[in-house]
Structure 1
Amino acid sequence: MKADGAVIVFDGVCALCSRWVRFLLRFDRKGRYRFAAMQGAHGRSLLMAHGLDPDDPLSFLLVEGGTAYTDTDAIVRVISGLGGAWRLAGAARWIPTALRDRGYRWLARNRYRWFGRHETCFLPTLEQRGRFLD
C-alpha cells in the first residue's frame, strides 16, 4: 500500500494508543488518516526519517503533506482534521506548546502503567485493513 495522505504512527502495543486508533477509525468517516504501528516497517522508517527514536517511543507522529507533526501539535491537528464540531479542538493551539507537550510527555511516560500494554499490536478488522500500512 502506498503511504499517501496523512499517516499516523502509533504504538501498537499500548492499550491507550490502540483505543486512540479505534476512536479515529470510528470518527474519521472520510478515511483521511492511515495508520502505521511503530513496531512495523513503515512506522519505524517514518519515525527514523523524522528524527524520532523508534526504540524509545515517547512521541506521537503525524505525517501530512510531507510535513511531520509531533506530540500535541499532531494530536490537535488530527482531531481538528476530523471536521465538523471536532474542529473546535483547534482552540487548544492557544495553550502554549511547551505546556501542552509537558502534559503529553507525562502521559506518554506513564501510559503502560496506567492503561496497560498488549502482547501484540492492534489488529484491524477486514474492513479497516486498507487503512493500515503494515
Structure 2
Amino acid sequence: MIESREPFSYQKDKNVPPFSAGSVFTVMDAQCSLCARGATWIARHDKAQEFKIIPLQSDLGGALMTHYGLDPSDPASWLYVEDGRAYSSLNAFIRVGKRLGGIWKVIGLLHVLPTVWQDGMYRFVARNRIRFLGTADLCTLPDPEVRKRLLL
C-alpha cells in the first residue's frame, strides 16, 4: 500500500536524488521480463512521449519506492507517478491505460472489480512473474523507444 503524500513530495525528500522526469514516470523491475514487456508497451503507445521509466534497481528507483513506503525488494512493488501523485498495483496499471488513451482506456474496466480482487490479482501475477515469464534486462533492451525513456 502506498503512503499518502502531497503531490511532488519526492522533490523535497533529501534521500531521493534530484532528477527530471516530467509529469509521468514509472519505477519498474529492470530484471523482469513482464516489466520489460510493459516498458515496451508503454513506449510504443505513448503518443505524447511523456513517460519516463526508472529501473527499480537504480539508486533513484529504490529511493522513490522507499519514499512512498514501498519495499524495493518486494516483487509486487511497482510505482507509477502522474502529475506528482503516486499509484501502485492494478490501480497504477489502470491509470497508465487511461493516460495512453485510445483502446487502452478499456483497461479502466478493471476498476469495477472490488479492490480486494484487484490487489489479489495483481499480487498473484507480480509474485509469479519470473516463474511464468522469466527474466530480462530492461536496461539492455534493443528497443530505441524504451532506451530513450530510461532514467538510470
Q: TM-score, normalised by structure 1?
A: 0.89
Residue type matched to 1:17 in 2? Answer: C
TM-superposed deviation, 1:98: 1.1
Q: TM-score, normalised by structure 2?
A: 0.80
Quick one: structure 1 residues 22 and 127, their matched pair in 2 at CA, closer, same or farther if it must change by over 3 Å? closer
4+ aligned runs moved over 2 Å, structure 1: 120-130
Aligned pairs, how many? Answer: 133
Among the aligned pairs, what percent are the same residue?
A: 36
TM-superposed deviation, 1:129: 3.4
- 1:1-134 superposed matches below 5 A: 2-118=20-136, 120-124=137-141, 125-126=143-144, 128-134=146-152
User: Structure 1 regions of 5+ residues with no counterpart?
Assistant: none
TM-superposed deviation, 1:126: 4.8
Q: Secondary structure at the match of 2:139?
A: coil
Residues in 1 aligned to 2:55 and 2:42: alpha-carbon distance in whole angstroms = 14
Q: Give the alignment's Cα RMSD to 1 decimal.
A: 1.7
Residue type matched to 1:92 in 2? Answer: L
